[in-house]
Amino acid sequence: MTMKPLSLLLLISAFSLNAADFSSSFKNTYDRVWLGEHYWANPMEDWRIRDGRAVCLSNGPNRNVHLLTHGLKEDPAEASFSISVRLGIEPGPSKKGSAGFLIGVMDSETRDPRASLLTGKGLVAGVRADGKLFIGKAVSEKTVPSLRDLVLSLDASPSTSKGSHELSLKALAGGTEKELVRLSSVPVQSATLSGNLAIGCNADAPGGKGGGFARFWFSEWKVAGGMVETRPGLAFGPILYAMHTLSRGTLKLTAQMPPLGKKEAGSVRLDAKDGSGKWRKQAVAPIDPLSRTATFRVKDWKDSRDVPYRIAFEQRRKDGSAKERYFEGVIRKDPVDKKEVVVAGFTGNKATVFPNSKLVENVGIVNPDVLFFSGDQIYEDVGGYGIHRSPVDLAVLNYLRKIYLWGWAFRDLMRDRPTLALPDDHDVYQGNIWGAAGRDCGGIKGHAKGGFAMHEDFVNAVQRTQTAHHPAPFDPTPVERGIGVYYGDMIYGRIGFAILEDRKFKSGPEGKVNDWKGRPDHVKDPNFDPASVDKEGLVLLGDRQLKFLRHFAGDWKGTDLKVALSQTIFCNLANYHGGGQQYIVADLDSNGWPQAGRNRALAELRKGFVFHYAGDQHLASIVRHGIDDWGDAGFSFCVPSIAAGYPRSWRPDKEGRPVRNRPAPGLPNTGDYKDGLDNKLSVFAIGNPAKENRKGRLNTLHDKASGFGIARFNAKTGSIKMECWRLLFDAANPRPEDQFPGWPKTIRYTDNYGRKPVGHLPLIKVTGMKNPVIQVKDSKGELVYALRIRGDSFRPPVFEKEEAYEVKVGDPDLDSWKTLRSLKQGVAPFEKILRF
């Protein structure tokens, strides 16, 4: 092959513009944290737009900015490219560090540009603080006289050696064409150049740790050449993503925005298409200055049809120009006539699986009606670079960078479906939460005493980013320090969803029950007495949420089935923890403790035949709970972690723990047991991790029992079907082994009330009304249970021999009722006919 002279190639790359070329617009951007939709900054909180430059604020290693919308092609053999940037060193004493480019940044396992933002490796080239240019390990002999204002320009062209490129790097004086230093003809393998492009500081720092490095500013970033490809679909912003709920004809929608500047628009607009297809303004919402959320509430929403919507934001530039930018989606009609309502359940999202491509693809194929994220949408290590606990504004920026990754991964699912997200411990930078009604626990070291470790403004900002779009809370009164609450209900597709906060009011164990050494929440003594930790005054859900559940159980307006959503299940199922599978007798972070509070919660759920859907355990399970006897309460389905970094398992058979009533098909570790806190539980399915993990990040997560859950609610038949899918299966071609052992399993809603009756009240026959609601109350007026029956007759079971009961029959949708009083079991008449 005849090679063109390098000088000619440089001339061509400098002057031949094509659709794939890129030029930054920092100069026309207002001062702010967010660099723009074309970029991902690592970490976001360490960068600013200042006076038309992207400025790094940190003297730490490997601070970088990836270009999202452009990259280098996978097959670069015959192509060339050039990349240049103007940069300068920021004032400071440091004499070590570097600035320049990262070329061909690629996550070798997935080869996904978004995964490469966090885990990718690439070639580093630039200028060191001592003034020498470098490309990888090649270093120039000469030095630039000053780092205050330079243009770095790197060119790559095919080499005469097959499969390689030659790279040339030069430094020019800023604002001139004067060349200062050149490092030429550095050969690299062509395949290593494919991937992301980035600029940054100190990417060549040894070990990637420490501090004291120089800081730099950047502007006039340009990319050109035949090797460059456009990736417009990877632009992220200015409206990052949106979540919504639809309940009782009211739409609530939150738009998540990036950290913008003071001179930019401070609000967003919600439009919807009317029946003729024209956009109509619905509402305007201000952008919260801390959480960067804008939340809309629209009453009397047209929920009988699919409604396209768009969120509009006026993007302003320093030159006075402005352009409306949109984020679009569809508010699906309320599926009241749908045969089954499908709810996808998730928990425990770590960056090791970002951008969750296979999971998102599979969920899209399943096409659920509702998305439910039960907690730990982020962990402290998401995206690297640690966490900040103070000051509040910096801590929130740190959190936003992490939650943005979650929203980015799931935004195409969330834009068209109601989404319920419950923050859990890691979302607010705690290993566990014992919220103690919002008290200040004095920082992370005191969190086991009860309370929140982070500032109340931080906690509220986290809650706004995840729950502001939820329906209104049952009782909005804040807890201590003004921390908001979000527990309440949603009705969608005639399914009643109870949204719980099962850690916000919970007591902390430290100083109350722990008389052992080590962690106050982990009991390791095999001779431990469970009754010793079930002390009077300890709280789980708290009186406020128990009152809500009591109301929820009895209120069946617009509802055919009920489900409670919370962070975790009401037992201590996982008894082996971590990579070494350490045995733990009892874990007080579980909702099996305190036991009395656990029993009160189950008793209230049981009154409404409420199914329980949750996560957090890093261990998928189907459990039927027992209060006084095995199976006398309802079923729970705990979904597996999206990315089970910390595996847990339930292996009572390994211990020789007593078991009875092992259900078909006789799977190991199933049957009636007591957990380490003496709670009764009947295990029907368990998703233990594999004993050995395969190589590869995603394979390892798959083997650690990662995946997601599906619950199918059939309002007509009253059935609830649970599915539990492994992380890397193919939803387009599912196989039985793609689900964990014991799934799928179908129950009836009536299985969520398992008490054995002592007798029955008279048979009630109803005419003139389909599927009525029946409420049974005792002589004190307290609800025993309520349900919507299938059919026109029901013989109410009762649980006290001499009690006189009141039975209310009717339909809350019609506000039509008839009441029968002073009914007793075994006493004539034995049949009641009610005509409507």
Q: Which residue type does 756 have?
A: K
Domain membership of residue 445 (yes or no) is no
Q: Say if residue 730 is in the same domain as residue 768.
A: no
Strand order from edge to edge, sheet including 793-794:
793-794, 763-767, 831-835
- Number of domains making up the chain: 4
331, 362, 387 — which closes off a domain?
A: 331
Q: Is residue 263 within 8 Å of residue 49, measured between CB atoms?
A: no
700, 722, 752 — which closes off a domain?
A: 752
Sign of CA dihedral 217, 222, 227, 230: positive
Q: Say if residue 536 is in the same domain as residue 680.
A: yes
For the chain (836 residues), the mean pLDDT of every run of 10, in chain order, is 35 47 96 98 98 97 97 83 97 91 96 97 96 96 96 94 92 93 91 96 76 95 96 97 98 98 97 96 98 98 97 97 98 97 97 96 98 98 96 98 98 98 98 96 94 98 98 98 98 98 96 92 94 97 98 98 98 91 94 98 98 96 98 98 94 92 96 97 97 93 97 97 98 97 98 96 96 97 97 95 94 97 88 94
CA 84, 85, 90 angle in degrees (round to 5)?
155
CB neighbour class for 66 (10 Å; exposed up to 12, middle 13-18, buried from 19): buried
Give alpha helix (H) positions in 367-497.
Answer: 392-414, 456-467
Q: Where residue 778 sits, what CATH number does that domain have?
A: 2.60.40
In tens, the pLDDT along 143-161 reads 999 999 999 999 999 998 8
Q: Say if residue 367 is in the same domain as residue 221.
A: no
Q: Say if residue 484 is in the same domain as residue 614.
A: yes
**Distance from the Cα of residue 35 to its chain's centroid:** 24
Q: Say if residue 480 is in the same domain as residue 537.
A: yes
Q: Where residue 291 sits, what CATH number does that domain have?
A: 2.60.40.10
Q: Say if residue 363 is in the same domain as residue 261.
A: no
234, 266, 282 — which closes off a domain?
A: 234
Domain membership of residue 454 (yes or no) is no
Pairs from 526-532 (Cβ < 8 Å, separation ≥ 24): 526/585, 528/585, 528/586, 528/676, 530/586, 530/595, 530/676, 530/677, 530/678, 531/678
In 3D space, the residue among 458, 461, 66, 430 whose CA is nearest the CA of residue 256 turns out to be: 461
Domain membership of residue 160 (yes or no) is yes
Q: Which residue type does 439 have?
A: R
Per-residue pLDDT at 211: 83
| Number of alpha helices (DSSP H) and beta strands (DSSP E) in the chain | 9, 51
Q: What is the DSSP letter of 414?
A: H
Q: Is residue 756 within 8 Å of residue 629, measured between CB atoms?
A: yes
Q: Say if residue 104 is in the same domain as residue 222.
A: yes
Give whole-number Cα distances, 425 to 355, 431, 432, 498, 582, in Å. 22, 6, 5, 20, 22
Q: Say if residue 775 is in the same domain as residue 725.
A: no
**HSE on the CB side for 448, CA within 13 Å?**
16
Domain membership of residue 398 (yes or no) is no
Q: Say if residue 743 is in the same domain as residue 820.
A: no
In 3D space, the residue among 567, 270, 581, 283 whose CA is nearest the CA of residue 420 turns out to be: 567
Q: Where residue 99 sits, what CATH number does that domain have?
A: 2.60.120.560
- Give the helix/strand (H/E) hosting 751: none
In tens, the pLDDT along 679-692 reads 999 999 999 999 88
Which residues neighbour 263 within 8 Å (Cβ) at sequence distance 6 or greater? Answer: 30, 31, 316
Residue matched to tokens 């009591």: 550
Q: Say if residue 369 is in the same domain as residue 326.
A: no
Residue 370's beta-bridge partner residues?
343
> What is the greatest pairwise CA distance in the chain?
106
**HSE on the CB side for 156, CA within 13 Å?**
33
C-alpha span between 522 and 149 (Å, rounded): 57
Q: Is residue 239 within 8 Å of residue 268, measured between CB atoms?
A: yes
Domain membership of residue 579 (yes or no) is yes
Q: Where residue 350 sits, what CATH number does that domain have?
A: 3.30.750.180
Q: Is residue 668 within 8 Å of residue 684, measured between CB atoms?
A: no
Per-residue pLDDT at 208: 55
| Residue 17, domain extent | 6-234
Domain membership of residue 29 (yes or no) is yes
Strands (E), 302-379: 307-316, 322-331, 341-346, 370-373
Q: Say if residue 288 is in the same domain as residue 230.
A: no
Q: Is residue 214 within 8 Å of residue 94, measured between CB atoms?
A: yes
Domain membership of residue 360 (yes or no) is yes
Pairs from 12-20 (Cβ < 8 Å, separation ≥ 24): 13/80, 13/81, 13/82, 13/155, 13/224, 13/225, 14/82, 14/224, 16/224, 17/224, 18/224, 18/226, 19/230, 20/70, 20/224, 20/225, 20/226, 20/228, 20/229, 20/230
Q: Say if residue 139 is in the same domain as residue 103.
A: yes
Domain membership of residue 175 (yes or no) is yes
C-alpha span between 568 and 432 (Å, rounded): 12
C-alpha span between 37 and 322 (Å, rounded): 15
